[in-house]
Chains A and B, each alone.
Chain A
Amino acid sequence: MRGDALKAWALILPSLVMLVAFTHWPAVATLWDSLYSTPRGSRPGIFVGADNYLDLLDDPVFFTALRNNAYYALVTIPASVLLSLVMALSVNAKFPGRALVRMAYFTPTILPMIAVANIWLFFFTPDYGLFDQIMGGLGFGRHNWLGDSATALPAMMLVAVWKEAGFFMIFYLAALQSMPPDLAEVARIEGSSRWNFFRRVTWPLLMPTTLFVCVNAVINAFRLIDHIVVMTRGGPNNATNLLLYHIYETGFRFWDTAAAATMTVALLAILGALAALQFGVLGRRTHYR
């Protein structure tokens, strides 16, 4: 019995070491750092208690980033999940050239985000970029998509949805493929409409996938900032500044490590709360086979 326990520990040890070294320890260290002031040059950091958190409440950029991130998540998550579901349903049916369409849908996923951002940078270029050329051809005026506070964040959302949807589609497609075909046959015999079949059978059976996809989408909404770095650097006037980008700037551009650690703790808290909410609410309504 004792030997078994030992063996069990030995088996989980490698992953435990990795998890502690790269996840738990940094999280605790960050929490610790957030209670100290930033060490600068010859002045070491001193214990300041909750001061960093009180300062955070005075940081207008933090709240701008938080609000941007909330909009960003609220738009990109439903949009990319819905789009991926539509794409998966469309390529689940049999038609000529299906493999080609599937590949086309999946292409954005395999491209590195940096490359994607550079391509979109050209699309958004005012006057001679792709969008302005199309808009110009249709008789509309020019638009400085990334240089206007009103359109910069939506432009970033568009890139994110385009990039994410293909990835989520793969999960939906796999779930659809594993669905027993007799369900559809029964429904057809019973005379059920396609919409009814989707609402009563397909959608409930896809719930576990939806939960998985949603959790990933939420994480990505806070984690993916490569396109911000390449395309706008948070500008104009913080219109596209997302939480993680603000943390990066504070930590590695301004070297205010204490403030960066404090915001990281805040981000961790937000993500933790969202994950708990998803598993609690969505998880309960999910039907696992």
Chain B
Amino acid sequence: MLTRRTLLAASAVVAAPTIVRAQTTKAITLYYPIAVGGPLAAIIDGYCKDFATASGITVTPVYAGSYVETVAKAVTAIKAGEGPHIAVVGATEIHALVDMDILVSLNEMGLDAEGQKWVDGFYPAFMANSRKNDKTWSVPFQRSTAIGYYNKTAFAEAGLDPEKFPTTWDGLVEAGKKLVKADASGRTTRWGFKLAADVGNAQWTFGALANQAGHVLMNQAGTEVYFNAPKAIEALNFWRALAYDHKITPQGVTNWGTLPSDLLEGNSAIIQSTTGNLTNLRDKASFPLGVAGLAGKEGVRTVVGGGNLYFFKHASEAERKASMAFARFLSTPERAADWCMRTGYIATRPDAWETPALKAYVEKFPAANVARSYLPVATGEISTFENQRVQLALTNNIQACLSGAKTPAQAMEDAQSEADRILKPFKKA
């Protein structure tokens, strides 16, 4: 029976969401990837809760998979008229995302003097991926460098000094040969060194190797790549030789995801991974864990990596303000220090390293400072227009070389011509 009272009650129920929505216009969505082990989702959830308590703004964090998946999901959602207001996406996606015209720059959102000071407070090395067309499009968040993790017990067992990690390619090969262990049938039970070549990671691994050979893979504008240069071929040749000549790494493609367990299970004595895995590996290792800068042809060289916070154009004025407030909340010195201690990612601002908490932590656990100390010898990760496509062209050819189908020179030549074809429209512009 429909009475006046039930009608009234029903209309109240129907109206309720509108009222709630009006009160919480300041609710934003964050997409983020996880590329390392450890309880990262819980940490992010915690930050969002803290932010809600501090500001009254609700941030809904959405775990969106790997870096590659996160950018695909964010762009798909935005093209469909929905999607995140702010997202942690690979720092290298800047050219592609600006080209898609879906970002809003910090300049457009409005930076007062204090805001400018905040932007200027990040490490310049990390900000290199944030500026384009004289505007700032993102701020660093989970930034890293590639570093070496090694098993000190295995080093001692092989007659190597556990405190001395090789700093040159020759030294690495020599150590690797001593670290390789085989059983009676000749089957390898422990590899010397493992590095990732799967889709989404090969280009990052290779970025470090190219820098180790003294080579830069692309121009600053993201319109040209230099894959078929002799030094790039030399870098790939070194990688291939690790498997086929020195036999200290497996042939074929090694996966990024299993590297931490490879080290923890004693399957590899050294792995090349992100500093973001530091806390997780330290907590789980049953042996003394060594952390060191990666060996280069002549000395230690590495590559920066990781994700920045991007702001999206479709957000309303209020949502943009909320996103910016959240970004600033995440990069206060205390929180940047906390993020660094709980994951291993490099705190993105010098002032974070001055906080008592992080200072005390580094004192107790000097490995936490290793990645930061090699920032001066780190190069930028490959970043171009049509970033995903160019990276995949490179990755495919690296994989072809590592599985024995192409010579290093042929692989890099093919990668170059494919990348040239992809980048042709942007060179003219």
**Contact between B76 and A147 (Cβ–Cβ < 8 Å)?**
no
With both beta carbons as reference points, the residue of chain A lying nearest to B421 in the complex is identified as: A58
Inter-chain contacts of B355 with A (CB < 8 A): none
Inter-chain contacts of B252 with A (CB < 8 A): 144, 147-149, 236
**Contact between B72 and A126 (Cβ–Cβ < 8 Å)?**
no
Q: B241-265, CB under 8 A of A: which get 1 and which 0?
A: 0000000001111110010000001
Inter-chain contacts of B68 with A (CB < 8 A): 253
Inter-chain contacts of B399 with A (CB < 8 A): 149, 235-237
Contact A238/B396 with A144-B253, A233-B198, A254-B388 known, Cβ cut-off 8 Å: yes
With an 8 Å Cβ cutoff, the count of chain B residues facing the other chain is 37
Decide if A142 is an interface residue (CB 8 Å cutoff): yes
**Contact between B253 and A146 (Cβ–Cβ < 8 Å)?**
yes
Q: How far is the CA of A169 from the CA of B99 in the complex (A)?
A: 51
Decide if A47 is an interface residue (CB 8 Å cutoff): no
Contact of A128 among B198, B200, B254, B265 (CB under 8 A): B265
Decide if A212 is an interface residue (CB 8 Å cutoff): no
Q: How far is the CA of A237 from the CA of B72 in the complex (A)?
A: 21
**Contact between A237 and B250 (Cβ–Cβ < 8 Å)?**
no
Decide if B267 is an interface residue (CB 8 Å cutoff): yes
**Contact between B250 and A255 (Cβ–Cβ < 8 Å)?**
no
Inter-chain contacts of A125 with B (CB < 8 A): 258
**Contact between A254 and B386 (Cβ–Cβ < 8 Å)?**
yes
Contact of B199 among A136, A233, A252, A255 (CB under 8 A): A233
With both beta carbons as reference points, the residue of chain A lying nearest to B386 in the complex is identified as: A254
With both beta carbons as reference points, the residue of chain A lying nearest to B68 in the complex is identified as: A253
Q: How far is the CA of A41 from the CA of B385 in the complex (A)?
A: 12
**Contact between A235 and B395 (Cβ–Cβ < 8 Å)?**
yes
**Contact between B72 and A253 (Cβ–Cβ < 8 Å)?**
yes
Contact A149/B101 with A142-B250, A253-B72, A254-B386 known, Cβ cut-off 8 Å: no
Which residues of chain A in 132-157 are interfacial with respect to chain B, using CB atoms and an 8 Å cutoff? 136, 139, 141-142, 144, 146-150
Decide if B133 is an interface residue (CB 8 Å cutoff): no
Q: B379-401, CB under 8 A of A: which get 1 and which 0?
A: 00000001011001001110110
Decide if B75 is an interface residue (CB 8 Å cutoff): yes
**Contact between B187 and A234 (Cβ–Cβ < 8 Å)?**
no
Decide if B188 is an interface residue (CB 8 Å cutoff): yes
- Chain A proximity of B80: nearest CB distance (Å): 11
With both beta carbons as reference points, the residue of chain A lying nearest to B254 in the complex is identified as: A147
Decide if A2 is an interface residue (CB 8 Å cutoff): no
With both beta carbons as reference points, the residue of chain B lying nearest to A149 in the complex is identified as: B403
Decide if A42 is an interface residue (CB 8 Å cutoff): yes
**Which of B68, B252, B399 counts the most A-chain CB atoms under 10 A from its CB?**
B252
**Contact between B400 and A236 (Cβ–Cβ < 8 Å)?**
yes
Q: How far is the CA of A125 from the CA of B369 in the complex (A)?
A: 33
Inter-chain contacts of B402 with A (CB < 8 A): 236
Contact A139/B72 with A235-B395, A237-B396 known, Cβ cut-off 8 Å: no
Q: How far is the CA of A255 from the CA of B76 in the complex (A)?
A: 9
**21 A-B pairs with C-beta separation under 8 A:** A42-B101, A127-B188, A128-B265, A144-B254, A146-B255, A147-B253, A148-B403, A149-B400, A149-B405, A150-B403, A233-B198, A235-B395, A236-B252, A236-B253, A236-B400, A237-B396, A237-B403, A249-B392, A253-B68, A253-B389, A255-B75
Question: What is A's interface to B at a CB cutoff of 8 Å?
Answer: 40-42, 125-128, 136, 139, 141-142, 144, 146-150, 232-238, 249, 252-255
